[in-house]
Homo-oligomer: A and B are copies of this chain.
């Protein structure tokens, strides 16, 4: 049985033949490398158009050892945080002639034994988002000289991979100042995510502020940065008769969970328990009550990561640490009176 018509791929050779030139010339026209008479160039372009030629990315990458692609490693694809980050990356990357290639580890931790599908073969550099690669693997990649930047995670010791993160501690500190200083709350609980570095820093800000105000009350729950988990934790507290004056959720999703748990218990936010968050995603301004939170410039972080990576690829240099400032967004859930919608 004859194989069903295998649609012939158009190759550079076909273009060359059509235009009556050599493949080298075609390549030169396409890549604008080397000089070619305008006449010939036009002829080649016509051939490309006529035949519908599209260069084969893999072949090109193999031959030139560049892919013009940046790999982006995410632990999972979810939520607005991710969207915003990606938007920032994408915008910057596109402006600079690269295309982003995404890979999500879906919770699996990658190591040398379970290596990344993204490597020199298909991208020129990597943006690594949080904790998805184990330390020795990260180190190995880095030693190979593969350009990488890390988002929201300090690189392992001795490995100087550029890092982009928020002023987490500082932001948390500010929020706590507001809760402690303006509202006078003392019994403030913290809802973090164990093992997530952002959360750890925010927690540190929380602790420091508490210490600064000489408050001995401290309550820390693991809301895993997920609404259901956070809701569950707070339900547990309330059931056990532990009723803080305020809950500082280390991200907006946890805040959402906390509010749900409190409201389900028949209590009101912020009158009985205030709740504040971190990130300012999730349309938090539309919640009831509108959420007081710390705005993290997520999109900006994406842009910064892309910028550092491209710089690293091109010049071999990049800033070891980029710290992005956060901003306190006061709405209603902390107990403040209406002022502005925080738009």
Contact = CB atoms under 8 A, between A and B. Distances in A.
Given A59-B62, A94-B106, A112-B49, A7 B119 contact: no
Given A83-B83, A99-B103, A59 B282 contact: no
A56 interface: yes
Contacts of A117: 57, 99
A305 to B, nearest CB: 15
Interface in A74-89: 76-80, 82-83, 86-87
Contacts of A202: none
Interface stretch (A16-24, A140-148, A187-195, A318-326): A140-148
Chain A: number of interface residues, binned into ranges: 35 or more
A156 interface: no
A301 to B, nearest CB: 15
A130 B94 CA distance: 20
Interface string A1-27: 000111101000000000000000000
Interface in A35-67: 49, 52, 54-62, 67
Nearest to A137: B52
B83 A52 contact: no
A58 B122 contact: yes
A316 interface: yes
A169 interface: no
A83 B94 contact: no
B87 A77 contact: yes
B62 A122 contact: no
B49 A58 contact: no
A288 interface: yes
A145 B78 CA distance: 33
29 contacts: A4-B316, A5-B145, A7-B143, A52-B112, A54-B116, A54-B120, A56-B120, A56-B121, A57-B58, A58-B62, A58-B122, A59-B121, A60-B121, A76-B87, A77-B86, A77-B87, A77-B90, A78-B87, A79-B80, A80-B83, A90-B104, A90-B106, A91-B106, A94-B106, A99-B103, A102-B102, A256-B283, A256-B286, A282-B283
Closest 4 A/B residue pairs (Cβ): A57-B121, A7-B145, A288-B288, A58-B61
